[in-house]
Structure 1
């Protein structure tokens, strides 16, 4: 079966082919990997808490006792029906056991695994991508269209309406983890209530104190050239599960917005009016710092920063790239640009 094509994933997780005995859900979006793991498992077992139908194993347990995988797969449920074996946070440690099982499967259990961002050379990925009885599902970070669909799905049950500016803010600022994003959207829906409406102020306030605030701390520290604050903010972003690509994309968007305001001001528009014209609006806690950034950054330096950030994002998307190292380095390079131009202005006074 090998790797499932992106356009076929939704149909596959709702109804995996009967010949498939094991499914690997992996990728940089850990929340999406867990979500798809759950969806596949539910096609066999309607209750994932049922101890008679569900067996949880770890990669370490399988490595220590490879026979345990076959034993559990061959076991018969006391209540009848197929069993599901879940292997969360799977790694190459269980690759050999999975390879052996897929070459000579026993029983009728379905094995479903979730894993992080496995490189192309990963033994576990190769096992699934090379087996007729296994399937690999890549779970990549949500792009704008994917987040937009997630918003629709999350608000539909309560018939909540969201205003355009509020939707744009969510699309631009929700975290990259599908599970966390879904939770944030559900929180907004419950706040609005049945047939309620979400406006920009409500969304930016409710979401702004969590994922957006973390992202904003990174971006402002970078734009101000504050290395120490940037290191602290990056540590917090990593702890929150923010993806490096999401940080780089947000940083690029910030610099583009600075340039947009600079162009409007050069054309004769007052600074406050130019800032107010941005969509989505500047995060309410960051207006003073954004205004300072417009004045601090020369247009040529903005262009140089954008080049660094776009190049780093492209490098992060290459298979096996050390994405956190690339992200950390490029954000600090932009911070160095900010310090250089700040010192140049002081020297010219």
Structure 2
């Protein structure tokens, strides 16, 4: 049977032990993995690996030995409790072996949980689960988690006290980063708040959220935007030593100044514009960029973007012979002097 996305969230949290099997498929391997971990944890409870109630096997192995899955499904362990067989990264070549196991399944056998990548509607594996009366097929797409899903993840991480403003920031963050990064952020936040029952603050989220750029790149762009032209040279040497190229530095600078332009040109002011930036800005970084946008203003930021575009075109020009990093350094110094004017 095909399980809708809306119903799937409830099923992952409370799977039905009497089902024959479950297929979870999707193009995002991390999203599939997280849901597989959730459903197996809810189905088997703690200690499943130690008690040998969970058997894992690659889908590719079933092509060589079709009986491998049936043997695992029928095997009886030493410990009581629900059992499951997890088939990882299956595709249509494993469909015959999985079909045989589904057909031979009896109540009391281990439940069959299969994960796969993106499957077309014509996929044999997908049709096998969608057409089965006692098994489910769930397709996962790149939709960000909803509020209910985020609340469940927060509860699992032991983060109960989350004010509305912090929840809004977490919801925006979940929209703009991958599911794996978001899960790691919540895990870091949980460790950060270990033994602290106070509400989650925006500063704490900012401390745990992944950074969109390397710290060294952020340093040089902040120096440029704040008009401190004397500090640009040493920072660029540091970036060069780390392997940063002139083109990537120019692209990073253009991205930074586009963010500032978006904030500065917002009708409600830079603070209002900061709330519309994606990925979202947090804490001290948000405050710093708001100040930069206010100091520059939309007119000078437009000039800066034009200058960076010209520099980027020059770097990519076939006739360009000057050292690329020197061209970018000169452009950034000019921008810093422009930003330093009042």
TM-score above 0.5, yes or no:
yes
Q: Which of the residues 176, 186, 207 maps onto 1:205?
A: 207
Contact 1:21 1:110 in 2 (8 A): yes
Q: TM-score, normalised by structure 2?
A: 0.61
Unaligned runs of 5+ in 1: 234-250, 302-334
Task: Summarize the Cα distance change of 1:52–1:170 in structure 2 as closer, same or farther, 3 Å threshold.
Answer: closer
**Is residue 110 from structure 1 mapped to residue 106 from structure 2 by the alignment?**
no
Distance in 2, matches of 1:16 and 1:199, equals 34
Partner of 1:13: 12
Unaligned runs of 5+ in 2: 222-244, 317-330, 332-342
Partner of 1:229: 248
Cα offset, 1:148, TM superposition = 4.4
Cα offset, 1:276, TM superposition = 6.4
1:58-100 residue CA offsets vs partner (Å, 9 max, x unmatched): 1121111111111211222233455311122333332221123
Distance in 2, matches of 1:194 and 1:86, equals 37
**Structure 2 matches for 1:330-349, cutoff 5 A?**
none
Partner of 2:179: 178
Partner of 1:190: 191
Cα offset, 1:190, TM superposition = 3.1
Contact 2:25 2:138 in 1 (8 A): yes
Contact 2:56 2:87 in 1 (8 A): yes
Contact 2:260 2:292 in 1 (8 A): no
Task: Summarize the Cα distance change of 1:188–1:113 in structure 2 as closer, same or farther, 3 Å threshold.
Answer: same
**Structure 2 matches for 1:1-349, cutoff 5 A?**
1=1, 3-17=2-16, 20-42=19-41, 44-46=43-45, 47-105=47-105, 108-143=109-144, 145-146=146-147, 148-150=150-152, 152-153=154-155, 157-162=158-163, 164=165, 166-174=166-174, 176-192=177-193, 193-207=195-209, 210=210, 212-213=212-213, 228-229=247-248, 258-259=261-262, 261-264=264-267, 274-275=270-271, 278-279=274-275, 281=281, 284=285, 287=289, 291=293
RMSD between aligned residues: 4.7
Contact 2:271 2:290 in 1 (8 A): no
Partner of 1:309: none
Contact 2:26 2:32 in 1 (8 A): yes
Contact 1:154 1:189 in 2 (8 A): no
Task: Summarize the Cα distance change of 1:26–1:176 in structure 2 as closer, same or farther, 3 Å threshold.
Answer: farther
Contact 1:154 1:186 in 2 (8 A): no
Cα offset, 1:52, TM superposition = 3.4
Cα offset, 1:255, TM superposition = 7.2
Contact 1:159 1:194 in 2 (8 A): no
Distance in 1, matches of 2:154 and 2:96, equals 41
* Structure ID, larger Rg: 2
Distance in 2, matches of 1:159 and 1:203, equals 14
Give the secondary structure class of the aligned counterpart of 1:88: strand
Distance in 2, matches of 1:289 and 1:64, equals 63
